[in-house]
Amino acid sequence: MQNQTIAIIGAGVMGCATALEASRHGYDVILKDISAAALEKAPKIIKQEYRSACLFNKEYSAVKLDTILSRITFQDDYSNIEDAEIVIENISENLHEKTSEYKRLAEVCKKNTLFALNTSCISITKLASFLPDPTKVIGIHLMNPVPLKEMVEVVRGYHTSDQTKEEVVSFLKSMGKSAIVIGDLPGFVSNRLSHLFMNEAAFIVQDGIATAEQVDNIIKQGFNHKMGPLETADLIGLDTVVHSLDVLYNSYHDPKYRCCPLLQKMVDAGQWGRKSRKGFYEY
């Protein structure tokens, strides 16, 4: 599939990292965002992600950063998106924002374009109902940081065809990723579990019985996790964590997913984790 065009919608944390990975594996990438600020920041995020991937994986520098950036077109419009074989959507975790964009994409994309949706929690079946051909829609829940995480949780919606699943698994393989294909319910496997964990860690800090550092150290040293739940929340972005908890709460109507008020307060105060340089930790 290399030398084909991939359109990536949303140039935030995940969109930039996915653009880096696709371009590094030879794809021409269109990276589209509606925010001029996000587009200006995107090459810097890609450089940072590239440098940190090189620290952990010596082979990563085999493709030079200049080559990678030369294959990515940064844009705020729909030019050439009709050339894309696959659209990877990485817009903020908000049903309205995602589905408004789908209406526009459906007008410009080819009929056989495959839509790979990167959402933390929203049902793929629900999102697919806003696109013209739900058989060509699938969830690809990429893990952060994308260059260092091989596993992708691939989510089949109600109508996703076998062909779409096979094409997406083979596309991911071409980027060095391995897929675990599962069925569709909000939060899938990873986030139904991880968001309970991060939310409860925030409740513990709110209750004042341990600091964020103590909570994370207990989990890292006691359970051999590489990262603690609050470090993970800062990495994901506390705004994204809160949006995802809201999706889980509204999907299952189960109080176990109620968002910790401290998390909501931090988001309202602009402390979104690494992306704003302050969350449970300072960066």
Q: What residue is closest to ligand NAD based on CB?
A: 12
Measured distance CA(276)–CA(267) in Å, rounded: 10
97 binds ligand NAD, rule: CB under 6 A: yes
Q: Which of residues 243-262 bind ligand NAD (CB under 6 A)?
A: 244
Q: Which of residues 119-148 bind ligand NAD (CB under 6 A)?
A: 119-120, 141-142, 144
Q: Tell me if 14 sits within 8 A of 90, measured CB to CB.
A: yes
Q: Which of residues 28-67 bind ligand NAD (CB under 6 A)?
A: 32-35, 38
10 binds ligand NAD, rule: CB under 6 A: yes
Q: Pick the piece of the chain touching ligand NAD (CB under 6 A) from 26-34, 179-187, 218-226, 253-261.
A: 26-34
Which of these, 34, 29, 38, 37, lies nearest to 70 by C-alpha position? 29
87 labelled binding-site residue: no
Phi, psi of 156 (to 5 degrees): -85, 125
Residues 270-280 as b/e (b if ≥16 CB within 10 A, e otherwise) read ebbbbbbebbb
Question: Which tokens hold the place of 266?
Answer: 């931090």
Measured distance CA(263)–CA(283) in Å, rounded: 18
| Minimum separation from the CB atom of position 130 to ligand NAD (A) | 13
93 labelled binding-site residue: yes
Answer for which of 72, 155, 236, 266 binds ligand NAD (CB under 6 A) is 236
| Residues facing 141 on adjacent strands | 153
CB atoms within 10 A of CB 238: 28
Total of residues contacting ligand NAD (CB under 6 A): 28
222 labelled binding-site residue: no
Specify the 3-state DSSP secondary structure of 88: strand
* Contact partners, residue 269, CB within 8 Å, separation at least 6: none
| Minimum separation from the CB atom of position 15 to ligand NAD (A) | 5
Residues forming the annotated binding site for NAD(+)? 10-15, 33, 93, 98, 120, 144, 275
Residues that bind ligand NAD (CB under 6 A): 9-15, 32-35, 38, 90-93, 97, 101, 118-120, 141-142, 144, 236-237, 240, 244
